Structure 1
Amino acid sequence: MSSHHIVRDDQEPALIIANGEACSSELMGQLLEWSPLIIVLDAAMERVMKLGIKVDVLLGDFDHGYTPETYLEYQYPLEIIRIEDQNSTDLEKAFQYLIARGIPSANVLWGTGRRMDHTISNLTNMVRYSDQLKIVILDDYSKVYRLPNHFEKWYTAQTPISLIPVGTVTGIVTENLDYPLADESLILGYRTGSSNSVQKDGIVKITYKTGDLLMMECND
């Protein structure tokens, strides 16, 4: 498997490959085809190499006991970014790298599954960067992103949707969901909007006043 097709640099989302559960080759292929920049976190590089993916940037703190320059024999050109800050995860380092480059959006694969602590951190930490970078975390069953305060999107009826607050979210109003919210609050650990669904074919509208609200478009 390889990339890339001809796409407009820095206009299509970059692709970050983390070190969680692997996704299907179909999903990986779909994202590789239109990603102008492929970033791999250091712990995942060996797994990615076995798939034959062309990597642009290898990034992390490289605390896994290998010398990243050895990959230059197999991947060239390859930009190696070493960031030894222990106060941020490697995925956060990738977000910071893209922001510094002025790249507006990123898709993240292998960001869920395996280590539960990593999964939770990846899903919640993305809100910290949402004002500077549009982030979508995907796997074979879910697509997760932070909702803007005013959101509209067309869905087919019975599409599963979960609204998950990071902390407390207030003033939530929804239209065209089976379980509507009318100026209500969601609080992580106490009340979430899990396992809702679209009522009928058409536009779903969601607005809220304060907080950070994650959209999870899920399937079984």
Structure 2
Amino acid sequence: MKKYNLPYINQQTDTVILANGNFPANPLALSILKNCEYLVCCDGATNNLTKSGIDKVPDAIVGDCDSLSEENRRRFDGIIHRIPEQETNDLAKAVHFCVQHGRKRITILGATGKREDHTIANISLLCEYMDSAEVEMVTDYGVFVGTGSGSLFESYAGQQVSLFCIDSCTVTSHNLTYPIENRVFTNWWQATLNESTGNEFQIDTDGRMIIYRAF
């Protein structure tokens, strides 16, 4: 059974994708950005990074490049990977780029905020990546991961937890304040706003789900 640990300050992360939502402000998220081994920016996120004052430059810039400034287009010309097709968004393009280059342990930052439709799409895409990579999305407020089977989640007593069913699937929980037993959820809101009772909880499911743990 797979276990999903919580991110922590000074975590040495293999690969970070910085998306073009709200730039990270939480100290934990900023620590992950500063300490990653390899950084991929969705094209417009490069503008946010260069304005942030953080001493970090991308190793690759991926996207359709419609929001990359002319200055950064010239500055980073040698690491830009333009993918013009419009069937996927820039975040999905960046994840596929990483997987194609053998980088399959990925933390996504900056994927929420600004336009709500982008936020919803970016979160739901976590379930599309499960078969090809280990991907987590860290925000200023918590962490999202996708799962499709029985899984353990590192936690702590009182941590706020929400479950989102992408598929209509059967769910059973262990160590949550409001127990779930062989329940089928048909809408995203139905399994939200729960709480962990200890240092880990377990979710058993036969379909794709997104698990959120608040900081």
TM-score by length of 1: 0.83
Structure whose alpha-carbon radius of gyration is higher: 1
SS in 2 for 1:168: coil
Tell whether 2:203 aligns with 1:206: yes
Equivalent position amino acid for 1:107 in 2: T
Equivalent position amino acid for 2:146 in 1: R
Superposed displacement of residue 71, structure 1: 1.6
Tell whether 2:102 aligns with 1:105: no
Superposed displacement of residue 158, structure 1: 1.1
> Match for residue 146 of structure 1?
146
Question: Is the 8 Å Cα contact of residues 167 and 188 (structure 1) preserved in structure 2?
Answer: no
Unaligned runs of 5+ in 2: 1-9
CA RMSD in angstroms, aligned pairs only: 2.1
Q: Percent identity?
A: 23
Question: Is the 8 Å Cα contact of residues 144 and 210 (structure 2) preserved in structure 1?
Answer: yes
- Distance across 1 between alignment mates of 2:86 and 2:114: 21
> Match for residue 62 of structure 1?
65
Tell whether 2:26 aligns with 1:13: no
> Match for residue 71 of structure 1?
75
Residues 94-149 of structure 1 deviation map (CA, whole Å, 9 limit, x = unaligned)? 01101111211211111001110100110112211211011111111120011241
- Distance across 2 between alignment mates of 1:44 and 1:202: 35
SS in 2 for 1:182: coil
> Match for residue 24 of structure 2?
23
Superposed displacement of residue 166, structure 1: 1.2
> Match for residue 7 of structure 2?
none
- Distance across 2 between alignment mates of 1:65 and 1:58: 9
Superposed displacement of residue 80, structure 1: 1.3
> Match for residue 47 of structure 2?
46
> Match for residue 212 of structure 2?
216
- Distance across 1 between alignment mates of 2:38 and 2:143: 20
Superposed displacement of residue 33, structure 1: 4.1
Name the count of aligned residue pairs.
202
SS in 1 for 2:182: strand
> Match for residue 185 of structure 1?
184
- Distance across 1 between alignment mates of 2:67 and 2:104: 30
Unaligned runs of 5+ in 1: none
SS in 1 for 2:67: coil
